[in-house]
Amino acid sequence: MIPLRSFVVNSSGKLLSLPRQVPKYYGKSILSKAPAHYEQVFNPARLASTTSSRMMGGQLPASRKRANRGEFSSVESDDISFFSNMLGKNRVLTNESEIEGYNVDMWKIIQGQSRLVLRPKNTSEVSMILAYCSERNLAVVPQGGNTGIAGGGIAVHDEIVISTSLMNQIEEVDEWSGILVCQSGCVLEKLNEHLAQFDLIVPLDLGAKESCQIGGNLSTNAGGLRVIRYGSLHSNVVGCEVVLADGTVLDCMNTMKKDNTGYHLKHLFIGSEGTLGIVTKVAIQCPPKPKAVNLAFVGIDNFQNVLETFRLAKRDLGEILSACEYLDHETLACVSENLQMKSPIENSFPFYMMIETSGSNGKHDEEKLSMFLEKAMNKEFVSDGTIASQPSHIKNIWSIRERFPDALMKDGHLLVYDFSLPLESFHEMVEETRGHLGPLAKRVTGFGHLGDGNLHLNVTMDEFNPATLAKAEPFVYNWVAQRKGSISSEHGLGSIKRDYIYHSKSPQAVYYMRELKRLMDPKGILNPYKVIPHT
């Protein structure tokens, strides 16, 4: 018998096994020329905005550790000339006021330092830009609608921003298969508007749909409200075209639903946050537009009954269940206090659920939903509720859900977390975090995509307090790791959570991620300081 592996314990106390033979590159930087002082720890804490406004221009937190700059070249005037010749001057932004919006995320968590924004219109231009940057050793960061909330699309230092906003052409909709082909810069809601003529919809829906782009959605494996019905983008993206760091165009642009010829490379680009390549085209399977939609908003007395209601909904609503959200009293109270929005039901409950159905026959769906609610009330899972069937009423109720982040931010400062957890532990986590933080938090609330096991845990404060942050992290990450959850269910790691990757991934997995990065981007110019920790 040969001894197989040694073991290490990570910061959460989780036992981790190591590869038997530690491969020779193990632990080396993905940036071949990274200087020694790069070792300095990059603080992955998500820092809160100093303003409750989501508009650009607010003040950002000043103190925040940043990864040291890699040994990349700096942009020089010759580079600007080259890009201006290629793209024309109006697609090469260097003026500070023009760049400002590209240097801060929508939520004002991250301040970038880019001094150059390029706005290509097609794959060929992206390819030429990257071939040039690779040659010159210039670092870049791809940016879509800039709606990410983990810092993945913002320059950490002076990376060149490659904005996909002008790559917004819809190329084709196959009416038989329902497959849409478009450039990566198409805005999600614009795709939906285009698909309406074919009676199709995009199989994903998120609060940011008016601004987020399909390429960014793909790169972050965006989740949202309808994963329970249509699955993730790993299910729905049938093909993509990607430009690699050296300018190579990697054609994974299949437009067929099924293809088992070789390794399924496209999945490497779904969720890798632009660190392996820049997505330039997408082919996506679109489902038929539902003929009928209904939304129930219900009040529930205890968390066990939230779970029972979910299980009943899965069984009785089955194929028409299209969203299953939960929120706690504290979340709704915050919306009511800070935004003066009214609850859809009169009485207060410890928990609420939003249960949506979408189907091909309105009469059938209403019947199913009524029968389900009757059963849920008879069994005393649900205490009160209302059903909306009119689009305007449905929109009103969803708008409450969409304003949760705004309401929470109005408290002053907000720490928002995005976890996958066993369903039974959702409320336990909220309560334990509240107990752990005590008076350091103004509010600790929970809501999320219950149907997908995805909890958003929120901690608010009157103003940013480093003590709160220090008490919250890594406490919450450890809590999740101990339950084998995911420390980022849908938001991604970006720059702010990358150093916590070992809380959800084994050292072997991170080792192979780093090797993949090295394979596809040997100079490390593509979205550096993101996703994979430096050591």
Out of 30, 270, 298, 397, the only residue in the binding site for a copy of itself (CB under 8 A) is 270
**Residues 219/273, Cβ–Cβ less than 8 Å:** yes
Map the footprint of a copy of itself across residues 431-490, applying CB under 8 A. Answer: 449, 452-454, 484-490
Q: Which stretch binds a copy of itself (CB under 8 A): 186-194, 325-333, 360-368, 462-470?
A: 360-368
Give whichever of 49 and 123 is closer to a copy of itself, judged by the CB atom. Answer: 123
Peptide bond into 288 cis (omega under 30): no
Rule CB under 8 A: is residue 1 a binding residue for a copy of itself? yes
- Contacts of 25 by beta carbon, 8 Å cutoff, 6+ apart: 514, 515, 518
Give whichever of 123 and 460 is closer to a copy of itself, judged by the CB atom. Answer: 123
Rule CB under 8 A: is residue 33 a binding residue for a copy of itself? no
SS3 227: helix
**Residues 233/221, Cβ–Cβ less than 8 Å:** yes
The terminus-to-terminus CA distance of the chain in angstroms comes to 32
DSSP string, 271-293: TSTTSS-EEEEEEEE-PBPPSEE
Out of 6, 11, 17, 399, the only residue in the binding site for a copy of itself (CB under 8 A) is 17
Map the footprint of a copy of itself across residues 115-134, applying CB under 8 A. Answer: 124, 127-128, 131-132
- Contacts of 104 by beta carbon, 8 Å cutoff, 6+ apart: 56, 60, 110, 111, 112, 154
Give whichever of 301 and 316 is closer to a copy of itself, judged by the CB atom. Answer: 316
Distance CA 62, CA 282 (A): 38
From the CB of 357, what's the least distance to a copy of itself, in Å? 10
From the CB of 348, what's the least distance to a copy of itself, in Å? 26
Report the candidate in 36, 117, 55 with the shortest Cα–Cα distance to residue 80: 117
Residue 46 sits at the vertex; the CA angle it makes with 233 and 399, to the nearest 5 degrees, is 55
Distance CA 41, CA 65 (A): 8
Out of 493, 496, 525, 526, the only residue in the binding site for a copy of itself (CB under 8 A) is 493
User: Between 40 and 79, how does the x/- string for binding to a copy of itself read (CB under 8 A)?
Assistant: ----------------------------------------
Give whichever of 173 and 334 is closer to a copy of itself, judged by the CB atom. Answer: 173
Rule CB under 8 A: is residue 10 a binding residue for a copy of itself? no
Give whichever of 131 and 345 is closer to a copy of itself, judged by the CB atom. Answer: 131
Map the footprint of a copy of itself across residues 163-222, applying CB under 8 A. Answer: 174-178, 199, 220-221
Residue recorded with tokens 């996909």: 164
Q: Is the dihedral of CA 151, 157, 162, 163 positive or negative?
A: positive
- Contacts of 519 by beta carbon, 8 Å cutoff, 6+ apart: none
Out of 361, 370, 399, 535, the only residue in the binding site for a copy of itself (CB under 8 A) is 361
Rule CB under 8 A: is residue 353 a binding residue for a copy of itself? no
Out of 430, 520, 525, 526, the only residue in the binding site for a copy of itself (CB under 8 A) is 520
Rule CB under 8 A: is residue 147 a binding residue for a copy of itself? no
Rule CB under 8 A: is residue 367 a binding residue for a copy of itself? yes
Out of 160, 430, 501, 525, the only residue in the binding site for a copy of itself (CB under 8 A) is 501
Q: Which stretch binds a copy of itself (CB under 8 A): 13-21, 94-102, 206-214, 376-384?
A: 13-21
Rule CB under 8 A: is residue 288 a binding residue for a copy of itself? yes
Out of 41, 256, 467, 470, the only residue in the binding site for a copy of itself (CB under 8 A) is 256
Distance CA 171, CA 94 (A): 31
Residue 417's DSSP bridge partners are: 457
Residue recorded with tokens 């002053």: 412
Strand pairing of 117-118 and 160-163?
parallel
Distance CA 234, CA 261 (A): 17
Distance CA 495, CA 47 (A): 12
Rule CB under 8 A: is residue 506 a binding residue for a copy of itself? yes
Give whichever of 177 and 386 is closer to a copy of itself, judged by the CB atom. Answer: 177
What is the token pair recorded at 254? 């299949």
Map the footprint of a copy of itself across residues 293-332, applying CB under 8 A. Answer: 307, 310-311, 314-320
Rule CB under 8 A: is residue 531 a binding residue for a copy of itself? yes
